[in-house]
Amino acid sequence: MSTHRKTRKLPNPPQEYSEAFKRQVVAEYESGLSTKATLKRKYGIAGNSCIPRWCKRYGKLPYLHHTTKGRPMSDPQKQRIKELEEQLKRKEQELQEQLKQKDAELAAYQRFIEIAECLVLVEMLPQPLIVA
């Protein structure tokens, strides 16, 4: 009878990279020839935050907290315009959803009034006065 003990796999120790290596990876990323994912695979970089952190520290482009996805633009004003356009687009979608909700509520209230008028045989909404 064989007895196998389950052994837990120990996590890999954190890797340390030289500053020159980090700068090389950032330069490749900023050149636009490679994505973060391809650089991670190419160099065996572990973790999802290494390259973004290196870009903030060693990069030539402004890497602030951006609401847009992808590589930041080299011109901060264009980047800001892009972010504002994204915010405007999200707000517009939010307002469209609110408008749909209010239209549905209005239709429901109008239907309630029609039903109440039929049951009570009285008009509940004021009719415009016709002056002769």
DSSP output for 94-107 = HHHHHHHHHHHHHH
Question: What's the pLDDT at 12?
Answer: 67
- Chain segment 56-98, per-residue pLDDT in tens: 888 887 766 655 566 666 777 887 888 889 899 999 999 999 9
pTM over 0.75: no
The answer to whether the beta carbons of residues 109 and 102 sit under 8 Å apart is: no
Question: What's the pLDDT at 21?
Answer: 92
Domain boundaries, the chain: 19-94
The answer to whether the beta carbons of residues 25 and 54 sit under 8 Å apart is: yes
